[in-house]
Structures are given as structure tokens and as C-alpha cells.
Amino acid sequence: MGNTELSARELVKRTADELERGSRYSITKEHIQHGSVSVYAHCLSVAEESVRIARIMNLNVDLDSLVRGALLHDYFLYDWHDNPDGRHNVHGFTHPYTALKNAKQDFTLSKKECDIIVHHMFPLVPLPPHSKEAWIVCLADKICATRETLLMRRAAHADSNAV
């Protein structure tokens, strides 16, 4: 079955499984990204959302690079909430470069995958994406981060009202 016939979830899961073999990818399960959502779960969500956006908009994209780049966009491999010395205060500005460095150490990346990883924080990092795939992941990341953050706040609000 080709990638175009697979559901977004099936395609992303298959690619994530491939990335986990022989790499440090499973470390992303150990760190929290937003609220109680792990970096791993966040990257899965971003990859699925990216595939949905490309398909809904009927865009001709490199689906393999789109999914791999989305899965690796936050491959920074540390807990940015653990910040005793203040070095993670600039995490939002620096983590795309750390993620790209780590991904290059563990995988062979296409030019589009590098573009996706290093430019996904635009406009916080003032380097705009160069490809459709990178623009899609940039948008999907913001959608997912907003959803995860709002769910975290909604849960906290519900807990405070239960008291």
C-alpha cells in the first residue's frame, strides 16, 4: 500500500516506528512538551495534522519528508522545563537548531526535512520556511501546541472548580 492510501495516523505511526529503530527517538517519550503531552505525542499530532492539512488543501507535497520532518521537528532530547541554571530560558529560539543537530547525528535528512526542522518556529525564529512542507508543519505545530495548551488550561480550570 502506498503512502497516499494510508490514513494520516497509519502513515505517521509507520514512520515513527522506523525512526525509533536504532536511534534516540524513544527519548522523546520521556519529556513533556505542553501540559501533560510528551514530546513524542506532540510530534505524532503535528505529523498527523500536517498530513491532514496537505490532503484537505490538495497540495502536491513530498509526503515522506513532510512526515519525517514533522516527527523530528522537536528532536531536542532534553526536558526544557528542567531549568535550574536558566539555559532553557531561550528554548523557543534555540531548540530548532538543537533538534536539527540531533537529527543529523541520527538520520540522513533530505533538504526539505532540514527546512522543516529548523524553520518550524517561524516567526519566533525569524527565518521563514522555504518549502510547502515546512510551511505546513509550521502551521500544524501552532495548531497542535495551541490545542495542547488550551486542554491543559481547561483541565486546570476544571480542577480548580471542583474544589
Q: What share of the chain is helix, strand, coil (3-state, %, to 5)?
A: 65, 5, 30
Residue 135 has pLDDT above 90, yes or no: yes
What DSSP string runs through 52-74? HHHHHTT----HHHHHHHHHHTT
pTM, full prediction = 0.89
State pLDDT tens for residues 27-59: 999 998 877 899 999 999 999 999 999 999 999
Q: Which has the higher per-residue pLDDT, 89 or 135?
A: 135
Q: Which has the higher per-residue pLDDT, 11 or 93?
A: 11
99 burial level (CB within 10 Å; 0-12, 13-18, 19+) = buried
